Amino acid sequence: QAKSLFSYNIMLIGFMGAGKSTVSSYLSRLLEMEEVETDALIVEKEGKSIPRIFDEYGEEYFRNCESNTLTELQKKQQVIVSCGGGIVLREQNVENMKKHGRIVLLTAEPETILERVKDSTERPILNNNMNTEFISQLMDKRREKYLAAADIIVSTDKKTVPQICEELVAKL
Ligand code: S3P
C-alpha cells in the first residue's frame, strides 16, 4: 500500500448508479490501492442482502449499519471507499469522511442513472420507482448534501471508465 501516490483515503460518493463501484475497481488497479465498499461490508456483517435488511429491519437500521461501518473504516489508510448512495444523509457520516480522506462526488443525469440501474433488484429505494421522475426528485432532495460533502466533482455521463478515472486522478 505504501507504494501509492496518495497517502489519504479516497471516498467515492454519489447517487445510486453514478458509477462508484465501477470507478472504484478501476481506480484500485490504477493506483494500487485497496478498495472497500460500505454496502458489501454491511451485507457481510449482517449475513443478509440489502433488500432483506430494508425489508426486515427498515431503512433506519440500515443507516445505522452504514454509520457503524464508516466508523470502522476510520482505522484504514490509503483505501478507496465506495460508499452507499445515502451515506451523505447523515451529517455525522460526512464529518467522519472529511476527517479521513478526499471526498469524490460522481454525478450523472437521471436518464443515465436509470439506464444503469434498471435491471437490478438490489436497490430497495428504487424497486418500485424505476423511472426518471422519481430519480430526478430524489436527486434534487439530496443534491445539496452531495455538493456540500464533495472535495472533487466528476461527471460520468458519456465518458468511459478510464476517462473518468484520468479526470479524477488529475483533480485529486
Ligand atoms: C442507497 C444506495 C445503495 C444502498 C442502498 C441505499 C441510497 O447503494 O446503499 O440501497 O439510499 O442511495 P448504491 O449507491 O451503491 O446503489
- Interval 24-74: pLDDT, tens: 999 999 999 999 999 999 999 999 999 999 999 999 999 999 999 999 998
Question: Looking at the predicted structure, is the pLDDT value of residue 160 above 90?
Answer: yes
CATH number at residue 119: 3.40.50.300
Task: Report how many domains make up the chain.
Answer: 1
Spell out which residues line ligand 1, taking CB within 6 angstroms: 16, 20, 39, 50, 84-86, 123-125
Query: Which of 61, 125, 140 for mutating ligand 1's site (highest number of atoms within 8 Å of CB)?
Result: 125
The contacts of residue 165 (CB under 8 Å, 6+ apart) are 23, 26, 27, 30
Q: Give 119-136 pLDDT, tens digit per residue.
A: 999 999 999 999 999 999
Q: Which of 2-6, 49-53, 55-59, 93-97 has the lowest mean pLDDT?
A: 2-6
163 within some domain? yes
Name the residue with the closest Cα to ligand 1, atom 16: 16
**Residue-level pLDDT at 6:** 79
Q: In whole angstroms, how large is the CA radius of gyration of the chain?
A: 15
**Residue-level pLDDT at 1:** 42
Cα 18 to ligand 1 centre (Å): 10
Cα 87 to ligand 1 centre (Å): 8
Q: Can you give the residue range of the structural domain that contains 114? A: 9-171
The complex scores an ipTM of 0.99
Q: What's the Cα-to-Cα distance from 92 to each of 37, 71, 95, 152, 154, rounded to whole Å? A: 19, 10, 5, 20, 24
The single residue listed with the C-alpha cell 483533480 is 171
106 in Cβ contact with 54 (< 8 Å): no
